[in-house]
Amino acid sequence: MTARRFPKALRIESKFTTGTTIAIPQREREALVTKDQDVVGVIAALFWSGKRDVDGRWFIVDAAESFRSGPGDAGSLAVQDLQRIEKGQAWLAAVRDHVEQTWPRFLRAFRDEALVGHEALCTELRELKRVGRLRERVAEDPVLELEHRNGVREIVDSHGAAIAGHIFQDLLAYLLTLAGYARVQINPIGVPDIVVSEFRGDLTSNVVTLTLTREHADRLVQLCQAAGEDDLVEALKRDFDRDRKS
């Protein structure tokens, strides 16, 4: 098992489309460039194009690496490009895992505000973050795929693609604060769209990497179970399951 590390900050260009290709103009690409090794410029894309295996999930890729060669040089990326690029960018695994696990529950938690409108959603997200109660709104029980897809569809049908894109952008920004980013900045006009920074994990703990055989990993879970460390058992099992699939 290898511990997954979050960058200290993320500069994010957020895209939503009802097609299968996103455009990344030169101006947006330049806004993601950074010389700080602890800051990563990423493209986060959400599709709603009628493809069941694609729609409703975020694709997250390192922008600097994505445009070095191939079709990306033209300033656009198809969903197939993003799927391919994700597989080769393991350094963003922590970010992707957090978004994948949290996104359906986060969307469900703020569905009603999102359907009211962009301003209502932003007001609620800002206030809950200010008083430290954002996490409380997100229930732990899983969301069925059909429920999640219906939630995305309702927002798109209610507001249209352009406004829905802004709503999904704001949800993504605040979803990332639950990973440990203390500061969030959303740029409604400028670039990049989102900046999350001041990752608290880097301030409070060291990054630990463990390399275990399957036998030792199973034994570690058993020891934690015997000690009553249920939260640790659950976290270890999630990590082991992801490693089995990768």
- Residues 193-216 have pLDDT tens digits of 999 999 986 333 333 446 678 888
Provide the pLDDT confidence category of residue 105 given band limits of 50, 70 and 90. Answer: very high
The more confidently predicted of residues 127 and 29 is 127
The more confidently predicted of residues 244 and 106 is 106
Contact status, residue 202 vs residue 3, Cβ threshold 8 Å: no
Instruction: Give the largest CA-CA distance in the chain.
Output: 56
pLDDT at 241: 65
CA–CA separation, 180 and 201 (whole Å)? 6
Query: What amino acid is encoded at 239 in this protein?
Result: D
Q: Alpha helices, DSSP H only, in the chain?
A: 26-31, 63-66, 79-87, 93-109, 111-116, 118-130, 145-177, 200-204, 214-226, 230-245
Q: Which residue has the tokens 């954002």?
A: 134
Average pLDDT over residues 1-18: 84
pLDDT tens digits for range 176-193: 999 999 999 999 888 899
CA–CA separation, 123 and 100 (whole Å)? 24
Contact status, residue 78 vs residue 47, Cβ threshold 8 Å: no
CB neighbour burial string for 156-182, b if at least 16 within 10 angstroms, e if fewer: beebeeebbbbbbbbbbbbbbbbbbbe
Model confidence at 116: pLDDT above 50: yes
Model confidence at 141: pLDDT above 80: yes
Reference 63, options 96, 95, 30, 16; nearest CA is: 30
pLDDT at 1: 41
